[in-house]
């Protein structure tokens, strides 16, 4: 199994350019996520999706857009690249299900991560 595949692995952009980071998973997971990781820091959630056609903002969504037209794909779009968006971007997926019953709660399987896209904006 390929798992989570991210393309490209590396990219250099000029300020103001736009690009799309691709992410695909072959595990039939319903949830998908985009994170960014700045040097020496932990990952921060940008956007996530609970299924095709449904997306929601994470902790740091400004400057990014996402769409989810299929279960497998979850592209991340940068419209006007800025130096502050220089980072490593990780895509992840998981299967989350909702337990019915008293209170109700979500249970899920671990998140599976891709190898990342290293993006520099100059």
Partner 1 sequence: DAKTTQPNSMESNEEEPVHLPCNHSTISGTDYIHWYRQLPSQGPEYVIHGLTSNVNNRMASLAIAEDRKSSTLILHRATLRDAAVYYCIQVDYGGSQGNLIFGKGTKLSVKP
Residues that bind partner 1 (CB under 8 A): 4, 31, 33, 35, 40-45, 48, 50, 58-59, 90, 92, 94, 96, 103, 105-108, 110-116
Paired strand residues for 34: 47, 91
> Is the CB of 57 or the CB of 77 nearer to partner 1?
57
> Is the CB of 85 or the CB of 117 nearer to partner 1?
117
Q: Report in angstroms how near the CB of residue 58 gets to partner 1 at its nearest.
A: 7
If 0-12 CB within 10 Å is exposed, 13-18 middle and 19+ buried, where does residue 46 land?
buried
β-strands 76-78, 87-94: how paired?
unpaired
């Amino acid at each position: 199994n390929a798992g989570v595949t991210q393309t490209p692995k590396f990219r250099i952009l000029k300020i103001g350019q736009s690009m799309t980071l691709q992410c695909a998973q072959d595990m039939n997971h319903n949830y998908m996520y985009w994170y960014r990781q700045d040097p020496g820091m932990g990952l921060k959630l940008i956007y996530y999706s609970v299924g095709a056609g449904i997306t929601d903002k994470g902790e740091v969504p400004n400057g990014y857009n996402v769409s989810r037209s299929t279960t497998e794909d979850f592209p991340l779009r940068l419209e006007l690249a800025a130096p502050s968006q220089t980072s490593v971007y990780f895509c992840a997926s998981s299967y989350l299900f909702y337990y019915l019953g008293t209170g109700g709660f979500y249970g899920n399987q671990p998140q599976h991560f891709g190898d990342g896209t290293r993006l520099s904006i100059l």
